[in-house]
Structure 1
Amino acid sequence: MASTALHISNPNYTNTRIISPLKVSIDASALLDVIEATYHDNSDSKDATRTRLIGTLLGTRSEDGNVSIKTAYIVPYTEKDGDIIFEESYHFSTYQLYKRSNVDLQVVGWFSTQDNLDLSTGLLHEFYSKSSPNYSQILLTLTHKDSNGEVVSPIINTYVSGPVGLPASSQLAHSLGLDKSGAYAFVSVENEIVYSKNALTSIQFISKAANNENQTTTISSNDELKQLEDSLNKISSMVQILSDYTAKVTSGEIKGNEKIGQLLLSALKFQLSENEINEIKLQIENHTNDTLLVEYLSSCIQQQLDLSSKLTNFMLPEDALK
């Protein structure tokens, strides 16, 4: 009796160390560079043949395969009769300039402002995959317009890919007319935007400017005390919102959410460990001792200056010339 089972064998890759990232982290500064270039290019672009904006993503990879995108730059290209003419020399020269300032940077993928994956996507992805054959390259798509052409908040998606079917460089793919399609299957992966406290402050100022008609904001009056006041006001408003919510739930006006209740309960039960309390006490004591030491040294220097001034006044003129 003939077997109806389907036997599938693993493909014979020349390099078996292809690592796919578990998560993609995007620095806020890199994302702002891409967004700024995207909106500016689409408002002032003179090349009507281009259907998207593409560029290179630079970053680092951790040992577990996670990717961190640190910066990005646009790569010029032209489209003609369905073909993409990619300026490789510009890509490599710009990459070398970035490497001079940070030797740890490497090509981790590329970005596109076209959210749909067409035939040319695989071809571009194959070009970037050649620069790092041991790792899977990231494709980041940024959508900034809806179906009606209206500008919307950017929507970010990240993908990894694996080769399927015939390689685009093979003779058979060329004879079948598949050498321009790029044989890749793309899978969406998780991504997150990371930023420091300083970057968060800058983003908040940018957000304020975006809400004004002239798109400007004043930062000269926002010193550290002003920022602290704003932060405390935000915390106070959030506490007030939670207080109003719990009051409505208690009175039966609305039905409570179990997840919110669990989060509030865990926050109220939060306590520092004994080691953390001792560490905080030690830091406060060290800071106090350093402050007292600086004040003591300042007082000693001031006394020395006063004493020197008094001795100078008592010095005779003929002694001063010696």
Structure 2
Amino acid sequence: MASSNNQTVLQFVSSSSTAASLSAKVHPLVIFNICDCYVRRPDQAERVVGTLLGSVLPDGTVDIRNSYAVPHNESSDQVALDIEYHHSMLQSHQKVNPKEVIVGWFSTGFGVTGGSALIHEFYSREVQNPVHLTVDTGFRNGEASIKAFVSVSLSLGDLQLAAQFQEIPLDLRMIEAERVGFDILKTTMVDKLPNDLEGMEASMQRLLALIDDVYKYVDDVVEGRIPPDNSIGRFISDTVASIPKISPPAFDKLVNDSLQDQLLLLYLSSITRTQLSLAEKLNTAAQIL
């Protein structure tokens, strides 16, 4: 818009009045599915794009719970999406869970690319103010860069010139079992997936490391090496208060009983696999005879 001193000012106009206050929450299943789609992509494809499904929570948070890839071709100046495939997959997903609707789209790679604006324009016709989720499947420096964006219009007066992607807060929470699987994704090559005992060992090591960090923080505060933070202190107090008060022998018995249950399940599953293998071989031998 023009000001009194005859200078022209470019103005950012949000595509929605609530765009600045938007936030997103993504479930680990979505990240696993995106990584799987990237591994299975065609040889000539540099990245994978697809649709995000979920819902909008009462507080305005976009809850991303599912996803599927959409075939596409892109060059430096144009992008082509298989819209028919997109609508067919959407109908299939909504037959299973009709409460899941389109909330945005995803792409693999580091950050936003030149063709993202064209794809975002298509999803803007599917849903108001879609969320764009980017997943760095390269895991640079052993970390996964996962970001969420919304589109913000750059206008000159009443004339819309371009669109800018504005990052919004993203909540990625995992339970410990999901965290172990997510850490495995950071390794480009693994011999095998961890079994239950190896997963438990990794969880215990992580728990001990967190306890050491908390102990060091409390010790530094008590000794006056760092200033205290009331919010952290309340969080530690609530965490300690949530732990049931049991004696060390009772705690050891509880852990040992749980470990024995895990070993029994592993033993039974091993016996089941052996029985199925023997039944398959006997069935094959009977057909030959």
* TM-score normalized with structure 2 length: 0.63
- C-alpha displacement at 1:246, in angstroms? 5.1
Q: Identify which of 143, 148, 152 aligns with 1:153.
A: 143
For 2:43, the aligned partner's letter is K
Q: Deviations over 1:22-77 (max 9, x none)?
A: 21000111121112322x146xx322xx3421111111012443201011111111
Please state if 1:204 is matched with 2:180: yes
**Pair 1:237–1:137, CA change in 2 (3 A):** closer
- C-alpha displacement at 1:239, in angstroms? 4.1
Please state if 1:184 is matched with 2:160: no
Partner residue, 1:310? none
Give the whole-Å Cα distance in 2 for the aligned partners of 1:11 and 1:155: 26
Q: Deviations over 1:168-211 (max 9, x none)?
A: xxxx99xxxxxxxx93222111101134x4xx324325646977
Partner residue, 1:99? 94
For 2:73, the aligned partner's letter is T
Identity over aligned residues, as a percent?
20
For 1:256, the aligned partner's letter is R
Q: Identify which of 214, 220, 232 aligns with 2:191.
A: 214
Give the whole-Å Cα distance in 2 for the aligned partners of 1:209 and 1:12: 39
- C-alpha displacement at 1:118, in angstroms? 4.1
For 1:120, the aligned partner's letter is G
Secondary structure of the residue aligned to 1:144 is coil
Answer whether contact 1:144 1:153 (CA < 8 A) is retained: no
Secondary structure of the residue aligned to 2:115 is helix
Answer whether contact 1:144 1:151 (CA < 8 A) is retained: no
Q: Identify which of 43, 46, 50 aligns with 1:46.
A: 43
Secondary structure of the residue aligned to 1:263 is helix
Answer whether contact 1:128 1:137 (CA < 8 A) is retained: yes
**Pair 1:165–1:201, CA change in 2 (3 A):** same
Partner residue, 1:90? 85
Alignment of 1:301-316 (within 5 A): none
Answer whether contact 2:13 2:153 (CA < 8 A) is retained: no
Answer whether contact 1:19 1:136 (CA < 8 A) is retained: no
Structure of greater Rg: 1
Structure 1 unaligned regions, length at least 5: 167-171, 174-181, 273-322
**Alignment: residue pair count:** 236
Q: How large is the Cα RMSD of the aligned pairs?
A: 4.4
Give the whole-Å Cα distance in 2 for the aligned partners of 1:208 and 1:145: 13
**Pair 1:163–1:207, CA change in 2 (3 A):** closer
For 1:143, the aligned partner's letter is D
Answer whether contact 2:55 2:63 (CA < 8 A) is retained: yes
Give the whole-Å Cα distance in 2 for the aligned partners of 1:70 and 1:4: 51
Give the whole-Å Cα distance in 2 for the aligned partners of 1:189 and 1:72: 19
**Pair 1:104–1:259, CA change in 2 (3 A):** farther
**Pair 1:37–1:17, CA change in 2 (3 A):** closer
* TM-score normalized with structure 1 length: 0.58
Give the whole-Å Cα distance in 1 for the aligned partners of 2:32 and 2:18: 28
Secondary structure of the residue aligned to 1:158 is strand
Alignment of 1:1-322 (within 5 A): 3-4=4-5, 19-20=18-19, 22-38=22-38, 40-41=39-40, 45-47=42-44, 50-80=45-75, 82-132=77-127, 135-145=128-138, 152-165=142-155, 183-195=162-174, 197=175, 200-204=176-180, 207=183, 213-219=190-196, 238-240=210-212, 242-243=214-215, 256-259=225-228, 263-264=232-233, 267-268=236-237
**Pair 1:263–1:215, CA change in 2 (3 A):** same
Partner residue, 1:307? none
Give the whole-Å Cα distance in 2 for the aligned partners of 1:241 and 1:60: 36
